[in-house]
Structures are given as C-alpha cells and as structure tokens.
Amino acid sequence: MTPLHINFSPLHISNSLKNLVNMKLATKFIHAGAEPDPSTGAIMTPVYQTSTYVQEAPGKNKGYEYARSQNPTRKALEDAYAIIENAKFGLAFGSGVAATDSVIKLLNPGDEVIAANDMYGGSYRLFTKVWERYGIKFRYVDTSDVKNIKAAVTANTKLIWVETPTNPLMNISDIAAIAAISKSAKALLCVDNTFASPYLQNPLDLGADIVMHSATKYLGGHSDVIQGALMMNDAELREKLYFIQKSCGAVPGPMDCFLVLRGIKTLHLRMKQHCENGEKIARWLRDHAKVAKVYWPGFEDSPGHAVAKNQMRGFGGMISFVLKDESMEAANKVLSSTKLFSLAESLGGVESLINHPASMTHASIPREERIKNGLGDSLIRLSVGIEDADDLIADLDKAIG
Ligand SMILES: Cc1ncc(COP(=O)(O)O)c(C=O)c1O
C-alpha cells in the first residue's frame, strides 16, 4: 500500500485556515482547525491515538516523530486555538493549571510576577506553594486599578498575570491599560481569559502577549474534559513555550483534543445563551428580597462595567452573590437544595452549577487572605448553563425560599 501523503508540519497553518482570521466569530468557531483529514477526507479530525510515527529513514518523517512532541489531533486543535483568539500560535496542555505552570517556567529565580489578588484559587496555590519555593516572587495586587500595578513594578518584574473577569468576584481589569504598563516595563502580560471565552473577549487584540484558558470550561463546554491552552503571536515566545510543552510533557491526549475541537464548534451558540440566561438571573437575583449583593459585570453600576463594556462583547454567565443572612447555615441551605444547579466545582458547561468558593474552588487561599480580598465565607457562585432561564430561576427561587 502506498503511504498516504500527509502534508502538515507542526508549524504549518493552511491558507484556508488563515483566511478565517478575517471572518466572523460563528464561522471561525465552526471551521477553526477543521480541514478534511488528508489521508481519508474525513470532515471531523480523527483521533490519532498513537504514541509514535514510523519514519522512512532516520530524520526523514512527515513532521511527526513522537506524540509528546506532536500529534495531528492536537495540531488541529492548536490551530483552532490560534484562530479563535486571533493569535498566530496555539499550544494545548493537559489542564489549565499545566498551561499556567508552563508560563511561569519562562521565568528565572529572582524574577517577579505581579498577579491579581482575586483569581482562581488553583493559580494562587501554584504560585505560592510551588513556584515561590524556586525563587520566583509574586506581588498580589488589585489589578482592577492600574495604579496598583504601576506601583508594584520593579526592575525585576518579568510577568503580569491578570484574570478578567476574576473568579469568583467578577472584578474587571483594563487589559489595554495594563498592556501599556507591561510594555514599558518590558514584562510579559498573560491574561487568563477562561471566564470570558474568546466569544466575549480577545486579550491579544488589546495588547496582551499570552492568553491562557482553562479549556475545561467554555471551550470544551460539556464538562467532559480537562485541558488548558496558551495562545500567542510572537514566534520566539511560541518556541520557548513549545520547548517547555514537550520537555515537561503536560500534553493532552488526542481524544481530549477531539472533544475540545468539537466543543469549540458551538461556542458562539452556547455563549449567546449563557449571556442571555446570565443577565436574566443576575437581574432577578438583584431584585430578590433575601439577596444582599450580586456580582455580575453587566450591571450598569458595577465598578468594572465601563471597562467591561469597552473590552467585552457581553457579560457572560458567571454570577456570584451573597444572601442578606450571611450565615454559613443560610448559604449551605441554598447550596444543597437546588435541583437543576448541581453543587460542583468547575464552570462553563451546558449544565448549570452552583459552587461555594470558600470551601471548594478557592479553599487553597488562606481564610484571612480571602476575606481581605472580599471573598467571604458565605459567597455563592453560579455557572449559569443553557437550560431554560425560567426553570433555572424557579430552581433558585425554591432554594433561596
Ligand atoms: C479562571 C480559571 N483559571 C484556571 C483554571 C484551572 O484550570 P484547570 O482546572 O483546567 O486546570 C480554572 C479552573 O477552575 C479557572 O476557573
């Protein structure tokens, strides 16, 4: 049998895919990374479940040598990652945390990172419990005020790490203004874009150097995969991160890449519904007699609204709230009595989830630190899914009582 000619090398993005850059979001999301399989014409990228590739002679291969370094299913997804974030390059990792870890591995002992004081607890744990031990210094500031970032810059600042909107308080940081600071400090700016997704926000267009995603969330979208992504424009930076990806080995398997490729195809439809349901529920919660405060950047009077409106295309389906009765008992009652909102960590799937950050997603942040940064014991976080909004409201109404 004649070997089938597969004309893709790990750095090649076909012209038909490059043309997508100028297309609208829905077209990009459906076609990103999807080219008919060169060996069969299969419209869906096959799951190349292989660990290695047969070579014709030493050093003579089709661009694939060993699956930790390259895999065609992963390559299709990495092209898709680039396209959906208006980037030149995308890299896929075994989890969001592995993607974050790879960015920190660009640094050397003595280097400093300015990071948000309100961010995903797992990022905070990685920074404080793992990387501080290797001599990287982290300065945590409220990144929603650029003055705090300016004040924290030193000659050793090499990276600014921003999450916007933040998990779980929905604080908004001005990406373009922070990019101006990072450029003058000659530091990299990496934005964790997990909460917004590329449907709502594209940080590279606003001057960021790297975008990070927990693809576990909106990109996968169906709560069936753990994965992380990095997107960037600079070829040298891509080389450094690719070196870390293959040398440290936190790569996703091909089946997981297939699932995220499939998830991305409906990102625009899902996000539209997440936003619509999110708005209905946020406004309903704010009018509820037993609710003290609702965190959602779509409220015209929320502190980050003007910036969010400027840099996002919508406000998403993530909402946090506190009850007037701030006791843990009252919060626990709500957390354990919803039926449609399942009590679980994670977010961004089609089904609605309810979460207690203090004991779940953000338990790794010391209590004093949490409270100081506004994350109280009784805060409840919702990942609003794409079920019927009226059914979701009825479920919350019963649980809040
Ligand atoms: C904002 C944010 N960043 C990063 C992560 C980490 O991603 P993963 O769980 O895929 O490692 C999460 C997970 O919840 C997250 O919410």
Query: What stretches of 218-337 show up as alpha helix (H) in DSSP?
Result: 235-248, 254-264, 267-286, 305-311, 328-337
| pLDDT at position 338 | 98
What letters, b where the CB count within 10 A reaches 16 and e where it falls short, cover 66-83? ebeebbbbbbbbbbbbbb
Per-residue DSSP letter, 243: H
* Protein residue whose Cα sits closest to atom 15 of ligand 1: 120
Residue 126 confidence (pLDDT) above 90? yes
Told to judge if 283 belongs to the known catalytic residues of this protein, a careful annotator would answer no
**What's the CA gap between 335 and 400, in Å, rounded?**
9
Told to judge if 381 belongs to the known catalytic residues of this protein, a careful annotator would answer no
**What's the CA gap between 331 and 325, in Å, rounded?**
8
The tens digit of pLDDT for each residue in 214-266 reads 999 999 999 999 999 999 999 999 999 999 999 999 999 999 999 999 999 99
Told to judge if 120 belongs to the known catalytic residues of this protein, a careful annotator would answer yes
Pocket test for ligand 1, best of 130, 167, 195, 355 (most atoms within 8 A of CB): 167
Binned at pLDDT 50, 70 and 90, residue 38 comes out as confident
Q: What is the average per-residue pLDDT within 13-39?
A: 84
Q: What is the pTM of this model?
A: 0.95
Residue 111 confidence (pLDDT) above 60? yes
The tens digit of pLDDT for each residue in 146-177 reads 999 999 999 999 999 999 999 899 999 999 99
| pLDDT at position 39 | 87
The tens digit of pLDDT for each residue in 272-281 reads 999 999 999 9
C-alpha 167 to ligand 1 mean position (Å): 9
Binned at pLDDT 50, 70 and 90, residue 9 comes out as very low
Question: Residue 35 burial by CB count (10 A; 0-12/13-18/19+): exposed, middle or buried?
Answer: middle
Binned at pLDDT 50, 70 and 90, residue 7 comes out as very low
| pLDDT at position 2 | 34
List, in order, residues 6 or more apart from 165 with CB less than 8 Å away.
171, 172, 195, 196, 297, 304, 308, 316, 318
Average pLDDT, the chain: 94
C-alpha 96 to ligand 1 mean position (Å): 5
Q: What is the average per-residue pLDDT within 96-108?
A: 98
Binned at pLDDT 50, 70 and 90, residue 11 comes out as low
| pLDDT at position 195 | 97
Q: What is the average per-residue pLDDT within 76-80?
A: 96
Binned at pLDDT 50, 70 and 90, residue 13 comes out as low
| pLDDT at position 33 | 85
Q: Check 68, 262, 280, 313 and give the catalytic one.
A: 68
Q: What is the average per-residue pLDDT within 181-198?
A: 98
| pLDDT at position 14 | 64
